[in-house]
Structure 1
Amino acid sequence: MRLEDKSPTLAELTDAQREQAMTRFRVLRFHTERGVPLPRAAQAAGVGLRTVERWLAQYRADGLTGLVRRTRGDRGRRKLPIEAVGLIEGLFLKKPRPSAAAVYRRVLTLCKEREWPTPSYSTVYAIISRVNPALTTLAHEGPARFRDKYELVHRHRAVRPNAVWQADHTQLDLLIRDASGKPVRPWLTTVIDDHSRALAGYSVFVDAPSAFQTSLALRQAIWRKAEPSWAVCGIPDALYVDHGSDFTSKPLEQVAVDLHFELVYSTIARPQGRGKIERLFGTLNTELLPELPGYLMHGKPATEPRLSLAELDRTLGIFLIGNYNSRTHREIRLAPQVAWAGDGWLPRMPNSLEALDLLLISVAKARTVHRDGIHFQGIRYMDPTLAAYVKEAVTIRYDPRDVAEIRVFHRNRFLCRAVSPEHCGQVITLKDIEAARSAHRRTLRGQIRERVTPVAEFLVPQTEAAVIPVSRPAATEPKKAKLRTYREDL
C-alpha cells in the first residue's frame, strides 16, 4: 500500500501541529513504501509499536489532521469551583506572607468543610504562581515598594525646547587624583533640556554637592557656549529638581525670581520623575567611565586612577558634547542638538554675562585696589578702570574653573573685568593653583629630606662615641624583706 497525502486541511494547522503531523507521517512512509515491518519502523523511530499502530489508524481515518495530537476539551479549566480559587489567592495575599505548603494545608481543611473537590499541591502552587506580581508586591512589601516597581508613570515630554530643564547630581563610579594626589570619587552636576534631551550645562567637582556647584552648571547652561556645535543656551521656563539642600536654597530661589523661571520640585523618594536625567547618568556609567583609568567595579578600582579633575572635565566635555548631543536619541529619534534647534528660534537670554554672574556666582571676595592692581590667590589682576579706585574696597567675583579673569564690583555696580598679565589668554582654575602649590610643597619637603638625612647620619657616630660606658657593680644577692609574713621567711 502506498500512502498518499490526503491533506486538503493542512493549511489550517499551526506550524507546530504541521511539524508534528509530518514527523509522524514520515514514520508511516518508512514502513509502507520501503516495506519495513511496522515493529522495526517503530523501533527505528524510538516509538512504541502500539503508538505507531494508532497513528496508522488515525491517518487512514482523517488524513494528516488525524496525526495531530488532540487536546482535551477541558484543558486549562480546573475542577475546583471559582470560590476555591479565590480562597487560595486570598490566603496567599494575607500578611505575613505564607508559604505554598501553609496555604495548601489550610485549603485542604476548608475544602473538606465545604465539601469541595480537594486540590493537589501542584494545583495550589500553580494558582499561587499565577497571582499578579503587582498584587503580591502591594500585599506583602507595601505601597512604597509597589510604587517603585509597578505604579503607573506618566511619561511627560515638554512641548518645546527650554520649556523645562532638569538638573541633578550623581557620584561617578570613578577614582581620580585630587590636588594633593590622593584618590577621590568625583561628583557630576548636569542640566538637560526635557524636550530635546540635550545637555545644557555640567559641572564636575570633588567636594559634596552645593549651591555653588549648581550655580556653575546653571551659568554654563544659560549662557552662550564658545563651541559652535554646542548651541544650547537660554533661560528655561521651569527648572525641575529634587529636594537636595542646594536646590532648596534661598539663593537659587532668588535666581529663579530674578530670571523669571519656575522651580518645580519632584516628589520626595520618587526617582521615576527624574528618569530622563538618570538615563544620561546611566549612559555615562556604561559607555564612558569603563574606558577610563580608575573605574570602580564592585567598589574597587579596576585600574590605577591617573586622571586629574581637569582631565576628567575635558573628557566629559568631549563625550557629552561631541558624542551624546550629536547622536540619534532612541526615544525621540533625533540627535538632541538637532531636536533643540528645531526649525530655528531665539531663546530668552539674560541682559549680560555680568548680570548673570552677579546672580549665580556666589563666590565673592572683598579686596582692596592697590597701585599695581588687585591681588587674589597669589595672582595680580589689572585693568585701566581700576586706576580711579586705588585704596577703595571692592568685591570680586570669579569662576573657579577659570581664574585668569575676575569681575570687579564696587558697591554692587559692575566696574570691569580684570585679567592677570602673566596668564593672559590662558585658562587656569583654582584646582590648578592648588595642585601646583601641593606639588611645590612636596618638592620642598623632598629637598628638606635630602639635606636632613646626611646630617642625621653624620651625627649618629659622634653621639655614640661621646657616650661613656658606665661600669655596673657586680650582682649581689637581693636583700630579704624585714617584714616577716610567712613561716618560711624565718
Structure 2
Amino acid sequence: MDARPGRIEAFGTVTMPDALWDRTKKISAVIAPMAAQTTVGRVAVDAAALSLGISRRQVYVLIKRHRDGTGLLTDLVPGRSSGGKGTARLSSEVEDLVREMVRKQFLTRQKRSLAAVYLDVVGACRLRQLPVPARNTVEQRIRALSPVEVGRRRGGPQAVRSLQSAGGDVPVIGRVLEQVQIDHTVVDVIVVDERERRPIGRPYLTAAINVFSRSLVGMVVTLEAPSAVSVGLCLVHAATDKRPGLESLGVDVQWPMSGKPRQLYLDNASEFTSEALRRGCEQHGIELAYRPPGRPHYGGIVERVIGTAMQQVHELPGTTFSNPAERGRYDSDRMAMLTLHELEKWLTLAVATYHGSIHSTLGQTPAGRWAEGVEKTGTPAVVSNARAFLVDFLPVMRRTLTRTGFVIDHVRYFSNSLKPWISRRSTLDPFLIRRDPRDISRIWVLEPEGHACIEVPYQTMANPAVSLWEHKRAVARLHERGVTQVDEAALFRMIEQMRQITDTASRTTKRMRRDAQRRALAPQPTTATRPPSTPNGALPTLMDALQEAVEAARLNPADARTLFNLATYKQDDAEQIHYAVSLFLELGIPLDFHHTTQTEAGLQDLD
C-alpha cells in the first residue's frame, strides 16, 4: 500500500478485459483451495493442471503466488504466455471468437453438436484471417463451462434440476463466513434530529447475517434509501474490526464477528446487481450469489433475524409498529425521542443480547456457534484499510480528462496529481472514476496504468461539501426556473439558498429537518473547504425578518404579510425577493402578494 496521502492501490479490477478476468476467476477457484492445504499431492496437482490447461510446474507456481499474495483475486492474474507446452496459446482475438461462437451456436435450445460448432469456428477464423484452433481446444473451452449453465441454456430449467439441491432445500453451510446474507428494511420507529429533537421520519437498516452461526457480522443505519453504497458500507462494517466503532458509540460489549465473507447471498434488487459491487466482490474474493426467483425461503435467514429485531423495536418510544391497525391511536411522532445515533447504539446492544441468546434452530447461542467455527477454521482475516475497501464498492463512471481536470454533473474537479496526464490526454482513454454519493466534494480517479486511485477534490475549494441528492435537487430547481445551461456557480448558489431555507423551515417541516440531519450525518470531507460568502451582504437581515414572519404566520396570516412586506421593502435585488417568495411557498404558507409591488417580480419569476 502506497503511503502517500490521497492514494489507494488499485489492481485494474475494472480495466481488466472480461476474458482475462474470467480466466483469473477460474484459476482462483481451482488454486485457492489447494493453497489453503498444508501439503498438496501430485494427483491433485495433475487434476488442477488438466482442469486449467497448464503444466504441473505452473500449478505449483500459482499455489506459491496465492500463499505469498494478499488474498486478492488479482494475485493470480495470468502473465503473457510464452507459448510453452501445456499453456493456453490462443490469441485474444481467437479466444474472443471461440467464446462468441460457443455462446451463439452451442449454448442454444437447438443443441448443436460439437462437430457442427467447430466447423463454424473454422469458417469464422478463415473469414477473419485468424489462426484456426484445434478441435480439442474448442472442446476444452466447452468442458470448462458450468454444467448448470450449459444445461439451462440447452435444455431449460427442468434439465438442470438434478444438478441443484434436491427438494428446493437451501444448501447446508458448514463454515464461518462461508455465506453471508444481506438485506434492507425500514426501521419501525421515528427518529428525531440532533439539534431540535423533533421527528424526521424512519431510517433504513442494512444487515449482514452469517448463515453458519446466525450472527450479525455487519449493520448500517442510515437516512438514505437502500443503494449500492449502503451495501458497501455494510460490507465495510462486516469486514473490519468493530472495536473502534463500539468505542465511538460508548458501548461496552463484545462483537467479535468480523471478516470478509466467502459468498454474499442477495436478492435481485438493483443495488445488489451494480458493476461496482460485482467487481469489488470479485477483487476481494467474495462470490456473489442471488436468490432464485420464486424461492423466497432461500433468503429467509436474514429476513427472520431482521423480523426479530423489528419486534424488539416496537418496544421503543416513537415506534410505528408493523401496520396502522396495530399502531391504533398511538402518536408515533409525538412520542419519538431517539436520535439516529441513539438508535444505532440501542441496536448494537440488542445485537449483543441476540448473540448471547439461545437460537431455536442452532440449539446454542450465535456467539457460541461462531466461536466453534473459528476454533475449527481459524480467525477470519479482517480488512485493515476501511477507506480503500469502501472505494472498491463505490459507483463507477467514466469521464474524459480536460485541461482543467474533470467535469461531472456541472462540477469541476482538479488536483496537481492530474498534471502528468493532461499533456497527453488526447492519447488516453476515458478515466474510471468512483464517487461517494454522500459527499461529492471529492472523487477517486484510477490511474491510466491502473495501479492506484487518486483523490481529486473540487477545483473551487470554497464550494461546500454536498451530497448527490442535494445536487440533483438543486439542478431540478434551476430547471424549474427556466435555467437550461447550468453552471457551477449558479448550482452552488442554489444549494446555499436551499440550505438556508431548510435551516429556517426545520422548526416546522419534518422533511426539511430530515434533510438537515442527512447533511449532518454525511462523511466529513478531507479537502479544505470554507463557507461561501453571503451575496450582497443582505441575506442575514432578510433571514431575520423572515424568521419573524414564519412565526407570525402560524397565528395570523395578516401579520405575516405585513412582516413580509417590511422584509422586502426597497429590495432591488430580484434574487433576494425571489428567495423570500420561495421561502413562504416552500413552507406552504398562502399569502396574498398582489398588494405589494416589490413581490410581483418574484412571483413572475416563480411562474
TM-score (norm 1): 0.47
Greater share of strand? 1
Q: Which has the larger radius of gyration?
A: 1
Determine which structure has greater relative contact order: mean sequence separation of CA pairs < 8 Å that are 6+ residues apart, divided by chain length: 2
Greater share of helix? 2
TM-score (norm 2): 0.39
